[in-house]
Amino acid sequence: MRVADIQRFCTHDGPGLRTTVFFKGCPLRCVWCHNPETQKFESEMMLHTALCAGCGACVEICPAGAQILTQTDRYRKVELCVGCGACAGACPTEACRAVGREMTPEQVADAVCEDAVFYATEGGVTLSGGEPLCTDGIEQLVPLLKKRGLHVLVETAGACESARLARVAPYVDEFYFDIKHTDPQKHRELTGALPDAILHNLALLDSLGARIRLRCLLVNGLTTEKEHFERVAALYHSLVHCTGVQLLRYHPMGGSKAAALGLADSGRREWIPTEEQIRRAAQILTEHKVPIFL
């Protein structure tokens, strides 16, 4: 399994205190992606220039000459980088960071269980990404986590193989299922894929009796239309085991992570939803008798 990060003591990725495991790889390309470092399945290097102390250790150790440090500039030549990770090992401030370490399902479970004493009755582990259900080894990891007595939550966009989803579902306590957009063409424009297979997987989960919470990201001008939330309400009422809809706010922090990968800064402050847009979305869902989470 290729793990992008393991974050401990999380309070926003499910009930209670949780450990969140972010896996590498996602077939979607959402224009607002908050975790661009998890899009590719391969390991990658990141350079956070704001953390750089200017010591030059990365320049000295880089075998490809990709790390550049001058009196006025600090950057990485992405086209030269071979992804060896030598700079990350030499950097004292973690400005250089390798994203995507290989771990076995047993190693992931061991890392998660280090925090088990803090989970109490509500906490547990959240599997996220990227798209965790596209991760090789997920079918071994989830039963292992349940065997160790953990509450398991999976954050997914449903962009995965149906057969794998069906095999994993019996061991998952709850799914947080992202609804990117309810208009098929806009879904394709915003994510690079049509929603048909995703909606099929949502219906499959529901037919299997899985506990589901739908999640909608509010992005100003892209996912804030009244019609969109009316269709979300209809989708909720089509499901038997859905507990409600969670409204999430777009934030531009993913842009700085894209820049650290050597990509264009994708963060857009104008996409941050207004309080009125959030209130209106909640009102529409409430009027359609949909339980909401904020």
What pLDDT is stored for residue 24 in this prediction?
97
Q: pLDDT at position 121, please?
A: 81
How many other C-beta atoms are found inside a 10 Å radius of the C-beta of residue 94?
Answer: 11
Is a pLDDT exceeding 90 seen at residue 71? no
In contact, 226 and 280? CB cutoff 8 Å: yes
Mean predicted lDDT score pLDDT of the chain: 95
Q: What is the pTM of this model?
A: 0.93
Residue with tokens 């063409």: 185
- State which of 47-51, 98-102, 216-220 shows the largest mean pLDDT: 216-220
What pairs with residue 292 in β-bridges? 245
Please report, rounded to a whole number, the percentage of residues in the chain having pLDDT higher than 70: 100
pLDDT of 72: 86
Give the domains, in start order, of the chain with CATH numbers. Answer: 2-42+100-293 (3.20.20.70), 44-99 (3.30.70.20)
Q: Contact 26/131 with Cβ under 8 angstroms?
A: yes
d(CA 246, CA 153): 15
Q: How many Å apart are CA 78 and CA 66, to the nearest integer?
A: 7
Q: What share of the chain is helix, strand, coil (3-state, %, to 5)?
A: 35, 20, 45
